[in-house]
Amino acid sequence: MSLQKNFLRTLINNSHIVKVPLGNRSYPIYIGANLLKQIGSLCLTHNVARKIVIITDENVARHYLSLVKSSLEKKKFSVHTIVLPSGERQKSSATAEKIYTKLLEWNIERNSTIIALGGGVVGDLAGFIAATYQRGIGFIQIPTSLLAQVDSSVGGKVGINHPLAKNMIGAFYQPLFVLADTSVLKTLPKRELICGIGEVVKYGIILDKKFFSFIEQNLNKALSRDKKVLSHIIQRSCELKAYVVSRDEKEQNLRAILNFGHTIGHALERAGKFASLKHGEAILYGMIAETNIALESRMVSFADKERIECLIQQIPIPSLSSIRLRNADLFETMRKDKKVKDNSIRMTLPHAIGKISLPLNIDERLIDRALDYVKLYGV
Ligand SMILES: NC(=O)c1ccc[n+]([C@@H]2O[C@H](COP(=O)([O-])OP(=O)(O)OC[C@H]3O[C@@H](n4cnc5c(N)ncnc54)[C@H](O)[C@@H]3O)[C@@H](O)[C@H]2O)c1
């Protein structure tokens, strides 16, 4: 048996592979412990061209860049690296331009590949560069935050922010493969871990009652980074996201269900000036508020609404008391939401745990009451 076949067999035995079926843009997500050191062999298996540029941020670089780089160099890849400061501000046209300049200076050609090594910020930005440089070059995701492993690295949404609005400039651009090494979560700050848990809870509410029960039963283990629990959580979340994306890659209908909690969550995040609340924390509050609307609309039962609230209550997130929250300001943000149609604020709401609606126009009086509810809840 060839060395490559041997490698593949070992990899398959030691990791879980989730497939994202998108015709000729299909790709695997490899999930498992200690996989980073396999990146060189994996690139060989996927016939990745010899020139690779790794884009990462300084926090992730400190822990993992040398391991990834040496694994690639051992397999004779030529590797350039770009290390950015960490944070959302890097998802900008200014940073993108600096990166294009480096790629041109290094003579990076059309058949080269970009590896995003980092959280969702690096993944979105590096993916945008890969989608646009020379009209598209190879792209590999190595997500290192829980949020990136369960959400942003899967599905091909890449992009940068505009000073007036987040994620407004971008593309749908699928990676060649995703490598989610669960071992890297040991260095992830606790607050970032919680943000990822927020998206995981969302998958349970919108698509999978059994998974929701698993999270209920294993929340403390997940928060204390139990490897088995986190590994199952990542695998199931990727399966659920792959299911949605494969049916609606470009968000024409079904993919919108992934926005549950995001309309109100995003308004709260903005009210906190993107500092008081992180995205995942704001989404947890958003899900409380939007579930309340589902209850008042007689869509979800009181028992299911209580179960959702009870689970979220056990997740440590900052109080809302330090944020100036005026319903009028929150409405203003929501009206600018991408999902607004014919001036109506739209949301996807749960019918039950594991069952969600497509986007619906929502009566603003219900939103107003839900905002009052979540403000009290979050004190
Ligand atoms: N493309 C999509 O479908 C999609 C979906 C959801 C979110 N997003 C985007 O993702 C971004 C948020 O991603 P995020 O929450 O990963 O934020 P992030 O990329 O800023 O990472 C969070 C922090 O954790 C650090 N970090 C990451 N991995 C680490 C590790 N293993 N050890 C130590 N530190 C580590 C980073 O340096 C950073 O400081 C936002 O820009 C959001 O718009 C995109």
Write the CB contacts of 218 (distance below 8 Å, at least 6 apart in sequence). Answer: 226, 229, 233
3-state secondary structure the chain: CCHHHHHHHHHHHHCEEEEECCHHHCEEEEEECCCHHHHHHHHHHCCCCCEEEEEEEHHHHHHHHHHHHHHHHHCCCEEEEEEECCCHHHCCHHHHHHHHHHHHHCCCCCCCEEEEEECHHHHHHHHHHHHHHHHCCEEEEEECCHHHHHHHCCCCEEEEEECCEEEEEEEECCCCEEEEEHHHHHHCCHHHHHHHHHHHHHHHHHHCHHHHHHHHHHHHHHHCCCHHHHHHHHHHHHHHHHHHHHHCCCCCCHHHHHHCCHHHHHHHHHHCCCCCCCHHHHHHHHHHHHHHHHHHCCCCCHHHHHHHHHHHHCCCCCCCCCCCCCHHHHHHHHHCCCCCECCECEECCEEECCEECCCEECCHHHHHHHHHHHHHHCC
User: Which token pair is 11?
Assistant: 């990899």
Distances (CA, A) of 361 to 68, 255, 351, 352: 47, 17, 15, 19
Known catalytic residue: 259?
A: yes
pLDDT of residue 379: 86
Hey, what amino acid is at 376?
L
Indicate the length of the chain as a whole number: 379
Q: If you take atom 4 of ligand 1, which residue's CA is the nearest one?
A: 152
For 62, how many CA atoms within 13 A lie in the half-sphere containing its CB? 6
Which residues on neighbouring strands pair with residue 169, listed in sequence order?
Answer: 160
From 35, 59, 89, 250, the mutation candidate for ligand 1 (largest count of ligand atoms within 8 A of CB) is: 59
pLDDT at 237: 98
Single pTM value for the model: 0.95
Pocket test for ligand 1, best of 152, 160, 195, 240 (most atoms within 8 A of CB): 152
Q: Is 178 in the pocket of ligand 1 (CB under 6 A)?
A: no
**CATH architecture for residues 3-186:** 3-Layer(aba) Sandwich (3.40)
> What residues form DSSP beta bridges with 115?
54, 140
Atom of ligand 1 nearest to the CA of 187: 32
Query: Which atom, in ligand 1's list, is nearest to the CA of 91?
Result: 41
Mean pLDDT, 10 residues at a time, the chain of 379 residues: 71 84 96 96 95 98 98 98 96 98 96 97 98 97 98 97 88 98 98 97 98 98 96 98 96 94 95 92 97 97 98 96 94 84 90 96 96 93
Pairing verdict, β 113-118 and 51-57: parallel
* pLDDT for residue 1: 57
Tokens of 10: 């070992």
d(CA 148, CA 60): 13
Q: Report the C-alpha gap between 82 and 57 in whole angstroms.
A: 8
Residue whose tokens read 């200076």: 105
- Which residue of 84, 86, 89, 145 sits with most ligand 1 atoms within 8 Å of its CB, as the best mutation to test the pocket? 145
CA of residue 307 to ligand 1 center, whole Å: 28
Rounded Cα–Cα distance for residues 216 and 308 (Å): 9
Pick the CATH number of 190-377 from 1.20.1090.10, 3.90.180.10, 1.20.1740.10, 3.40.50.11540: 1.20.1090.10
Contacting residues for 249 by C-beta, under 8 A, at least 6 apart:
22, 155, 156, 172, 255
- Residues of the chain within CATH 3.40.50.1970 domain(s) are 3-186
Which residues pair with residue 52 across a beta bridge? 79, 113
**Sign of the Cα pseudo-torsion (239, 241, 244, 250, in order):** negative
Give the residue range(s) of CATH 1.20.1090.10 domains in the chain: 190-377
Give catalytic status of residue 58 as yes or no. Answer: no
- Using DSSP bridges, classify how beta strands 78-84 and 113-118 pair: parallel, antiparallel or unpaired: unpaired
Q: How far is the CA of 300 from the centre of ligand 1 (A)?
A: 32
CB 201 within 8 A of CB 233: no
